[in-house]
Amino acid sequence: MRKKTVKDVDVKGKRVLVREDFNVPQDKNGEITDDTRIREALPTIRYLLENRAKVILCSHLGRPDGKVVESMRMSPVAARLGKLLGMPVKMSRDCVGPDVEKAASELKEGEVLLLENLRFHPEEEENDPKFARELASLADIYVADAFGTAHRAHASTVGVARYLPAVAGFLMQKEIEALSKALESPERPFAAVVGGAKVKDKTALLENIVGKVDVLLIGGGMVAAFLSIKNDKRARKEDETSGSVRRIMEQTRRRGIKLMLPVDVVAAKDANSPDTAKEVPADQVPDGWIIADIGPKTVQLYASELKNCKTMVWNGPMGIFEVPRFSAGTRGIAEAVARLKATTIIGGGSTAEAVEDFGLADKMTHVSTGGGASLMFLEGKELPGVAVLQDK
């Protein structure tokens, strides 16, 4: 990786501010239901503790919109982290201010302090310079380890780097290296599986990746736009979406890339009507109905194609997988990918959620912790939270 990491700086005796992504799901009683993001942060935290740093952790949790929301306090995270580390994790009642400064200054080597929810302050998402300076004043070094927020130019992801030496943590390093290798030096054949509801949400990704892959497999609701162009070359209505699809399909043809579209789908009257669902050939979706999933023949077709690939990147589910009737396509592809003897990279967000729900995350080479961040990376764009880190 071309950015400095925590191993490139001397942390002994230093106060180190670490931006983690502890935005974990909780139930109505405030119990953490999935601590994956906390566990992913452990290598960086343990390294700092072993090297006698004074560790100050910060994160957001939920969307409090710049106000203190009791149910979004970081105390459950502190408790879970303490159990995982096997040591007490100190907790502050704010993330800036005199009391926090005092707690940070009194921190001893090998101790951990977790700051209160950054987004209790509107200045965090505004990337307010004064707020960033206050955060930075707590420490000597800044470590960016929250890949899931690296696409946001916030005070804790970008602003603090103006005032402190900024390097990557191990999770950030792992994410960047896994995604970079897939895009820049994949073992071939290289396939991309791209799903999602709308073409416009994936246009930039498709246009960036189409010149890098050997096979492109399309799923999700956006299949409708591709099938419309494929089956009616005159297109009844030209708009931005159809223009993007035409451009992508033309690039695959010109570059000799194998473009695969569903041969059958699960159609339904709408997303809330699974009882109306039926499997139909891809070109026979009833007027006004939606494509809620790819069909079983398509799953077999895609799985067969993926068997030949040595590298695979997947971003976007094959259907509305949260609804059981519409989950078979996403599950089928996940199971096929889990069986591959290949490098398998799973984009974050709903794709990561799906493979985790199916109990297959540990069968993948890399499951990204960042939804928007991994999408932006796959689009070929520079992440603000990575750009500010020191170069090697």
pLDDT digits (tens, 9 = 90+) for 112-133: 999 999 999 999 999 999 999 9
230 is catalytic: no
Domain endpoint, select from 140, 173, 206: 173
The answer on 163 and 197 residing in a single domain is no
Domain boundary among 173, 204, 219: 173
Classify residue 227: in a domain, yes or no. yes
Give the max Cα distance, the chain.
71
Both 205 and 149 in a single domain? no
CATH number, position 232:
3.40.50.1260
Helix (H) or strand (E) holding 191: strand 190-194
* pLDDT on residue 247: 92
Query: Which residue among the candidates 130, 198, 247, 258 is catalytic per the annotation?
Result: 198
Residue 302, domain member (yes or no)? yes
CA dist., res. 254 & res. 256, Å (int): 6
347 is catalytic: no
The pLDDT assigned to 238 comes to 53
> Could you give the CA distance from residue 2 to residue 32 in angstroms, rounded to a whole number?
35
Q: Is the dihedral of CA 22, 23, 29, 35 positive or negative?
A: negative
Q: In the structure encoding, which two tokens stand for residue 32, read together?
A: 């953490």
Pull the structure tokens for residue 104: 């940070």
Mean pLDDT of 17-44: 95
What the block records as the tokens of 289 is: 């109905």
> Distances from the Cα of 148 to the Cαs of 5, 49, 125, 211, in angstroms?
17, 23, 14, 26
Q: Are 75 and 154 found together in one domain?
A: yes
> Cβ distance 262 to 231 under 8 Å?
no
pLDDT at 239: 65
What distance in Å separates the CA atoms of residue 19 and residue 58, rounded to the nearest whole number? 5
* pLDDT tens figures, 81-104: 999 999 999 999 999 999 999 999
Please check whether residue 230 is in contact with residue 210, taking contact to mean a CB–CB distance below 8 angstroms.
no
**Helices marked H in the chain:** 36-50, 75-85, 98-105, 122-125, 129-136, 170-184, 199-209, 223-231, 240-255, 296-306, 328-338, 350-357, 371-378, 384-387
Catalytic entry in 19, 37, 152, 202: 37
Contact 57, 18 (CB under 8 A): yes
Report pLDDT digits (tens) over 261-290: 999 999 999 999 999 999 999 999 999 999
Separation of alpha carbons 150 and 4, rounded Å: 16
For residue 318, what are its two tokens?
């094959």
Shared domain check, 43 and 132: yes
| Mean pLDDT (whole number) for 226-244 | 72
Report the alpha-carbon distance of residue 160 to residue 124 in Å, rounded: 11
Share of the chain above pLDDT 90, in %: 93
Residue at token pair 């390097």: 167
Clarify whether residues 121 and 233 are in a common domain.
no
- Can 28 be counted among the known catalytic residues? no
Q: If you average pLDDT over residues 239-261, what whole number do you get?
A: 91
| Domain-embedded: residue 385 | no
- The answer to whether residue 261 sits within a structural domain is yes
In terms of Cα–Cα distance, which of 89, 81, 17 is closest to 53? 17
DSSP state of 380: T
- Per-residue pLDDT at 65: 96
pTM for this entry: 0.91
Domain that holds residue 111: 6-173
Shared-domain flag, residues 159 and 201: no
Q: Among this protein's residues, is 371 annotated catalytic?
A: no
Q: Which of 173, 201, 225 is the last residue of a domain?
A: 173
Q: Which of 295, 348, 349, 371 is catalytic?
A: 349
3-state secondary structure of 322: coil
Q: What is the pLDDT of residue 144?
A: 98
Tokens of 112: 């951990």
* pLDDT for 237: 54
Q: Within this chain, do residues 165 and 192 fall inside the same structural domain, yes or no?
A: no
How many domains, the chain? 2
Residue 315: strand pairing partners = 194
- Residues 45, 168, single domain; the answer is yes
Evaluate whether residue 89 is within a structural domain: yes
Where is pLDDT greater, at 154 or 198? 154
The string of pLDDT tens digits covering residues 299-340 is 999 999 999 999 999 999 999 999 999 999 999 999 999 999
pLDDT in tens, 58-77: 999 999 999 999 999 999 99
Looking at the structure, tell me whether residues 45 and 72 fall in a common domain: yes
Are 32 and 113 contained in the same domain? yes
User: Quick check: bond before 64 cis, omega within 30?
Assistant: no
389 found inside a domain: no
| pLDDT at 172 (0 to 100) | 98
**291, 249: one domain:** yes
pLDDT for 122-166, tens place per residue? 999 999 999 999 999 999 999 999 999 999 999 999 999 999 999
Residue 388 lies in a domain: no
Q: Does residue 143 belong to any structural domain of this protein?
A: yes
Claim to verify: residue 128 and residue 272 sit in the same structural domain: no
The confidence score (pLDDT) of residue 230 equals 83
